[in-house]
Chain A
Amino acid sequence: MVQISKSKCVCCHRCALFCPVAAIRSGRDGASWIDEAICVECGVCVRNGCLSGAIRRRRSPWPRSVRALFSDPVTKHRSTGVPGRGTAESKTNDVTNRIQPGQVGLNVELGRPGVGTSFHQVQQVTRRMAKAGAGFEEQNPLTHLMSDRRRGVFPRELWPERVLSVVVEASLPLEELAGVLKELRAVERKIGTVFSVSVYCRWADRRRMLALVDRRRLLPQAKVNVGLGRARRQR
């Protein structure tokens, strides 16, 4: 939990400028305070927002602890046992071979850019994806928080928790991609946040994959794993 000490606050409101989710307000006395319902515990105000040392962070108990886990890039996922917000996705596929020929990896990042998301909203997406046959990535911390992975459901106590962004990772056969994207189009009309969608596959499958997506949505830039990685046996 992040709090501002009234006695140390010099009322400069620098912290409010730095807050990515506009969770910092100023009271009648001029001192800044943090709206705990909105704060995602990203740590920006602690690291950059205060020159007088008025902002302190304490470790939050479960389920609030997920806020920092998913919002602060320098926090490790001890509760899920998986580091970071997700796997290396396509970035180490030349070594892991997680996505095989004929398969497609699908990433849905909710809350980014700059809006944030709740676990209830995350579940709106994951339930639709599960319904269309997507299998959630085992090494993703979000998957470990699901109470029912087959249906993409999270424990009810997590629903109100807000985070800056989360990455849902799934894989599926290429021919099923169109069905999952159709479900995502249905949820985008109802959801109160934003989400970024990315798809990845082996280079040889690129044309087949691009034929299944709406070209109008396709951004010109891509992440290209050039294939320099080599697996080696470790103890």
Chain B
Amino acid sequence: MRGEFIVMSMAAKGINDAGAGPKLRRFLRIARKHGAVSVSDVKSVMHAVFTDIGAVESVLRDLRRARLGLSVTVTGLVAPIHRACCRSEVAEEPHTVAHSLGVWGNRRRLPSETVLSVMTMCGHSLVSVPLVEQAVASVRAGVCSPRAAAVKLAEPCVCGIFNVDRAARLIARLARSGKRR
């Protein structure tokens, strides 16, 4: 997770969503300008994935100057995000923070941690375990590259938040670990 930051922008329904379209498009232009590895738009929620906190800082600085008025949330490690927030002069303190307490319940039903780390990149759980396993097997057999396998895995993810770069790295690692066994 150290190398992944998701910047998300959205309007609040009934409060500031009127006329939000052009502002959201402006958000995407700013995200692309600073090298987002993927961007997407689902139901008027914009996502941009970055692999560098420096780029996130630049995005926040430009968003502050643009005064769009839309909510912006950054997902990733808290300390670098807090620093980026301060350095970009968005605020000394962010507004709200959400922490995950992980997965509870019948964890025996879950696949291995590495497979999980690939499939959970789709926030709606639309990437299946067999699809991840097949992607790893294809790379291991030399049928396709890790990147090509990751692109195929991203297909079911309708919100486009699936990080192809990180998935390719994880698939390559899974394929290598299988060869050693």
> Which residues of A are interface residues toward B (Cβ below 8 A)?
16-20, 22, 42, 44, 47-48, 73-74, 83-84, 88-96, 99, 105, 107, 111-115, 164-165, 181, 184-185, 187-188, 191-204, 206, 209-210, 213-214, 217-232, 234-235
Contacts and interface: CB of A to CB of B under 8 A. Distances in A.
A191 B96 contact: no
The SS class assigned to the A binding surface is: mixed
Interface in B3-30: 8, 10-18
B10 A44 contact: no
Interface residues of B, number: 66
Nearest to A192: B106
17 contacts: A17-B130, A18-B156, A20-B128, A22-B130, A73-B42, A73-B126, A92-B15, A95-B71, A115-B109, A164-B125, A201-B97, A223-B73, A226-B81, A229-B71, A230-B69, A231-B12, A234-B14
B173 to A, nearest CB: 19
Given A73-B159, A113-B125, A93 B96 contact: yes
B99 A73 contact: no
B99 A228 contact: no
Interface stretch (B86-94, B142-150, B163-171): B86-94
A226 B73 contact: yes
Interface of B: 1, 8, 10-18, 42-43, 60, 63-64, 68-78, 81-82, 85, 90-91, 93-107, 109-111, 116, 119-120, 124-131, 134, 155-156, 158-159
